[in-house]
Each structure stands twice: as structure tokens, then as C-alpha cells.
Amino acid sequence: MKNLAVVVMAAGMGTRMKSKTPKVLHPLLEKPLLWHVLQAVFALQPAKTVVVVGHQSEQVQARFTNQADFVVQSPQLGTGHAVQQARKVLGDHLDTVLVVPGDLPLLSGDTFRRMRDTFDPTLGPMLMLTVTRDNPQGFGRIVRDEAGFVSAIVEEADCTPEQKAIRELNVGAYIFNAQWLWQNLPRIPVSAKGEYYLTNLVGIAVSQGYRVQAVQVDNPAETLGVNTRAHLAQAESVLRQQVNQKWMEAGVTLVDPNTTYIGLDVTIGQDTVIYPNTYLLGQTTIGEDCEIGPNSYIIDSTVGNGCQVRFSVVEQAVMENNVDIGPFAHLRKGAHLAEGVHMGNFGEVKNAYLGPGTKMGHFSYLGDITTGKNVNIGAGTITCNYDGVKKNPTVIGDNAFIGSDTMLVAPVKIGNNARTGAGSVVTRDIPDDALAYGVPARVKSEKK
Ligand code: UD1
Ligand code: CA
């Protein structure tokens, strides 16, 4: 099976999502449905992958440029018609085609591998994936012959009462001998609804004397189809549980996995404890021995070892080792807190480097600032960094002590070991070792 191609059927309207966004672009743990499907089929290292798109095809293609080939199906005349559209892109140099639906994002690479490894082209030209489960969710029913091979797939609408009771269902993923597929797709009859059902290929193969092979999905949860927002939430819940399970197995404590939301690109170090209602999203890395949450939201950030984040929001920021923030701290883009920084309640830091050991206990805003080490930021300190036109920088030297309620009117520099009195409005640079106070602040030794 050297030449395997994949066809993803994703042209359906997704009407029941009631959305302006194409169904396959709806996110599941931050990644579009179609991303999950492609990720799984790439496990087979296909020679080519074609996605059949229809509804809002430009948007779908734009999101996945360079990851697959696309073919537009218009009008959408059913799954058989969808696969036929892929032929012109695939050409004739393939021996096997895996066809998968675009709306079953939980099917795994392992399942597709098992399909490929089970498929025996000498028995017949096709193999299909089935699932046995109590909720048929509108899936086609599998009818088997005495020998156990599949003799038909009957769509729910066409079922007799006996067939309707069958609990082995068509998942909608198939492997075909390519040559046979292209020869027989045009033989599919048109349905009462005016559509060409791919499922009719079973009857066609059987009528030609072939055996139709089938493998069953190990884990029925993989076959959850997303047709509505409720299904989307269910699928996300399944995936979230898988991800959370993986981190617990890796030595991370999740106090309440049901309220812990961890993205697929996140990494977490050993013996870190995640408290309830916490989101770790995007390209986020959390070190070892941290305590994160409860009620925290961290995205696209790097957190070192031994850090604490309580009731806080961290976006595009860096926390080095042994930094603690919160409750109610907000690190924004470009905030970099060096080793041992403490940031207490109601603080905001943006585009800033806070040197090692710096303390900022209460109610402060630091933006566009660089501090040295062991700086004390008094309660209520504010960088007045914006003059109405542009952002201006503040620089604070090592061991400086900024008194409570100091306004640092940028651009401004505070020297090493310098101090400001409570309520100072600092409009001019303060030299090393000096004390400045008042409004506007003057250095103590200056003549009044
Ligand atoms: C299909 C199967 C059914 C199976 C079910 C499970 C047929 C006739 N029925 O039913 O046996 O149990 O999937 O997944 O195949 N699509 C296109 N172009 C079209 C029509 C559909 O690309 O013209 C795509 C859809 O976007 C979707 C997939 O094919 O990703 C399945 O189509 P859908 O309409 O959802 O088929 P079902 O009614 O679910
Ligand atoms: Ca479907």
C-alpha cells in the first residue's frame, strides 16, 4: 500500500450549527475541527490529502493552505459525489484511498492505522469502519451476512423497523482500492433526495461478488459526530478529558479535572498543582512545582519552576522561577518577571522587565518599564507612560524604593538605591541614592 491518498469530505453546509463560520472551522480545544481530522489522517503519511469543500470554501482553504489540497464541490450532491470531485486532484497513480468525514474530529490516527493494516485487497475492494453503540445519532445501520461481512448500509430514513433496531453503525470512514473506486463511483444511483450516497458502494461491491470488510472502533467516543453546538461541547469534553488524563499520568495534579482547560500545545512540569477553573491555553509552558489557580487564565506564556498564580490572568508574558502573582494580577503582553518577583493583588504589568526580587504588593500599574533587582514598588504606584500620543519608558535602578502612590511620569529614570516619598509625582530623573518627594517631586538636597 505504498500509495495511499486521503479524501476528507467537508463540503456540507453544517446548517444545524446555525453559524456564520463554516462548521469545520469551529474550534475544539482551540483548533478547528478540520485540524483534528487532518492531524489524525497524517498518521498514515498519505501521499496526498484532498479536502472536499463547498460552503465558504475560501475561508477553509485560507486556514489550511499548504497542509492539504482542496477541491470545491458545487452543488453538493451527496457523499458519493463529494469523493468523485477528488479524482481530478488525485490522478491515477494511487492504489488506495482512505475516505473520512470532516465532522468526526475524534477519530484517531490509531483507528485509521488499524483500518489500513486490516484492509486485505484480495478479499474485496473496500473496508469500512463501524461502531456499536446505543445512540445511533442518525448514522446508517450495518447489515451483515451470515459470514460476518457487510452486505449493506441502510440510511436511517430508509430503515425497516428491524433495521432501525440495529446498533452497529456506519462511522463514515472507508478504505477503497483506488481503481475500483473510480470505476464504480459513476455507478451509484441517484437517491429519492437527488443525492449520490457513497454508502451504495457496499451494495455495488456485493453485487460484483466481493466481500466488504469492516473493522470496529475500539472506543465509541471517537465516533461522536459534530452537527450541532451541543455535539461540539460533547466532543470538546471528551478531548479535554483525554488531555487532562495525559497530564495526570505525567505527574501533574489536577484538583478538579472537570474544570481544568488545557490546550493541546501546553506543557506542564512534574508536581505542579492546577486548581479548579483554570485555563492554560495557546503556546504555554508551565514549569515544575508550580501552583496554578484557582480561577486563572494563562495564554501564550512561559512560567518557570516553583511559581504561584492565584486568581490571575497572564497573557504573552514570562515568569521566571519562583515568581508569585495574585490574587487578581494581570500580566499583559511583554511582561517579564525575573526570578523571585512578587506581585500581589490588583496589579497590571505590560511590556516590562521587573528585575530579580522586585516586589510590587498592591494596586499598581507598570507599563513600558525596566527595573533593576530588589526594587520595592509601593502600593498604588503608577507609570504614567502614555502622553496621549506615544508610550514613554521608565527605568528604575537596583534596590530603589518607590513610595506608595508615586506617579512616574515617563520618560523618567530613577537611580540605584533612590527613594520617592509617598504621593510623589516624579517628572524629572532622580539620581542614584537620592530621595525625592512632593508634587512635582524634588530631590531632598535641592534648594526650594
Ligand atoms: C453519512 C453516511 C452515514 C453515516 C454518517 C456518519 C452517507 C449517505 N451516509 O451520513 O451512513 O452513518 O455519514 O458520519 O454517506 N459531505 C460532502 N458533500 C456532500 C455531502 C456531504 O462533502 O455533498 C460531507 C459532509 O460535510 C460531512 C460528510 O460528508 O462531513 C458526511 O455527510 P453528512 O451529510 O453529514 O452525512 P450523514 O447524513 O451524516
Ligand atoms: Ca454527519
pLDDT in tens, 280-330: 999 999 999 999 999 999 999 999 999 999 999 999 999 999 999 999 999
Domain boundary assignment for the chain: 4-223, 229-446
| Whether the predicted pLDDT of 38 surpasses 90 | yes
Q: How far is the CA of 14 from the centre of ligand 2 (A)?
A: 9
Residue with CA closest to ligand 1 atom 37:
139
d(CA 301, CA 325): 14
CB 33 within 8 A of CB 26: yes
Class (C level, CATH) for 4-223: alpha beta
How many percent of the chain have pLDDT more than 70? 99
Pairing of strands 376-377, 329-331: unpaired
Higher pLDDT, 93 or 79: 79
d(CA 196, CA 185): 9
Please report, as a single letter, which amino acid is at residue 365. Answer: Y
**Distance from chain centroid for Cα 152:** 38
d(CA 184, CA 205): 9
d(CA 307, CA 274): 12
**Distance from chain centroid for Cα 139:** 27
Residues in the chain: 448
Pocket of ligand 1 (CB under 6 A): 9-12, 52, 73, 76-79, 81-82, 101-104, 139-140, 153, 155, 169-172, 197-199, 225
Q: How far is the CA of 250 from the centre of ligand 1 (A)?
A: 38
Residue with CA closest to ligand 1 atom 12:
139
The alpha helices in 169-326, defined as continuous H runs, are: 178-184, 200-207, 229-249
How confident is the model at residue 448, as a pLDDT?
A: 46
Q: What are phi and psi of 78, to 5 degrees?
A: 105, 170
Q: Which atom of ligand 1 is nearest to the CA of 73?
A: 18
| Whether the predicted pLDDT of 273 surpasses 90 | yes
Mean pLDDT of 147-171: 95
Residue with CA closest to ligand 1 atom 22:
11
Q: Which atom of ligand 1 is nearest to the CA of 197?
A: 8
Residue with CA closest to ligand 1 atom 16:
12
| Whether the predicted pLDDT of 271 surpasses 70 | yes
Q: Is 362 a catalytic residue?
A: yes
List, in sequence order, every residue forming a beta bridge with 154; answer none if it has no partner: 141
Q: How far is the CA of 371 from the centre of ligand 2 (A)?
A: 57
CB 349 within 8 A of CB 319: no
SS3 category, 371: strand
**Distance from chain centroid for Cα 163:** 39
Band the pLDDT of 206: cuts 50, 70, 90. Answer: very high
CB 51 within 8 A of CB 117: no
How confident is the model at residue 41, as a pLDDT?
A: 98
pTM: 0.93
CB 112 within 8 A of CB 40: yes
Prior bond to 440 cis, omega within 30? yes
| Whether the predicted pLDDT of 124 surpasses 60 | yes
Residue of 50, 51, 56, 79 to test ligand 1 pocket, by largest number of atoms within 8 Å of CB: 79
Tell the CATH topology of 229-446: UDP N-Acetylglucosamine Acyltransferase; domain 1 (2.160.10)
Residue with cell 512540569: 269
Q: How far is the CA of 389 from the centre of ligand 1 (A)?
A: 55
Q: Which atom of ligand 1 is nearest to the CA of 104?
A: 14
How confident is the model at residue 2, as a pLDDT?
A: 63
Mean pLDDT of 88-103: 92
Q: Which atom of ligand 1 is nearest to the CA of 171?
A: 6
Residue with CA closest to ligand 1 atom 13:
172
d(CA 366, CA 225): 48
How confident is the model at residue 56, as a pLDDT?
A: 83
In degrees to the nearest 10, what's the CA dihedral of 409, 413, 414, 416? Answer: 170
Q: How far is the CA of 210 from the centre of ligand 2 (A)?
A: 27
List the grid coordinates of 313. Answer: 490572568
